[in-house]
Structure 1
Amino acid sequence: MAGPKKPRCTFKECGAAAQRIVGDCGFCDGHYCAKHRLLEDHKCTGLEDCKKESHQRNAAQLEAERTHVIRGV
């Protein structure tokens, strides 16, 4: 009696066992092994979206932390 099949790496013809949680890509919904888990390593189709999202998040954080000058004090 065989157990459930373990998920395999989605990258082309890799076939290695996919990493649980850290191997799941939220941008392309793939499941990847330790070697291909990073967006750059599996040539993610959502890489540009990821970069834009990070840029927007960082810009918002910098704007929130900006010090405003109070004149006349």
Structure 2
Amino acid sequence: MPPRKIKCSFSDCKSAAQRISGDCAFCNGHYCNNHRLLEDHKCQNLEDCKKEAFEQNAMQLNKERTQVIRGV
């Protein structure tokens, strides 16, 4: 018996969810190609995602910051 297709978690959507790209790590939903982006399925944790991305970018910028050597 073939495995059941997972339906899109978005309300009123009857499409099949995408296997890997349709999984949302922030709300644990499974979404079709039309609703796979955070903005498209109105993810409840969108602000957490933005905050996490901002912190990662800030860490990367601090890591790449040029240090001034004085007294050389």
- Whether these two folds match at TM > 0.5 is yes
Equivalent in the alignment of 1:71: 70
TM-score, normalised on structure 2? 0.96
Distance, in Å, in 2 between the alignment partners of 1:36 and 1:25 is 10
**Paired letter, 1:17:** A
Equivalent in the alignment of 1:60: 59
Equivalent in the alignment of 1:16: 15
Distance, in Å, in 2 between the alignment partners of 1:3 and 1:72 is 71
Structure 1 residues without counterparts, runs of 5 or longer: none
Distance, in Å, in 1 between the alignment partners of 2:40 and 2:7 is 16
TM-score, normalised on structure 1? 0.94
1:35 is the counterpart of 2:34: yes
Distance, in Å, in 2 between the alignment partners of 1:13 and 1:27 is 21
- 1:5 deviates by 1.5
- 1:4 deviates by 2.5
Residue identity over aligned pairs, in percent, reads: 65
Structure 2 residues without counterparts, runs of 5 or longer: none
Over the residues paired in the alignment, what is the CA RMSD in angstroms? 0.8
Question: Matched residue pairs, number?
Answer: 72
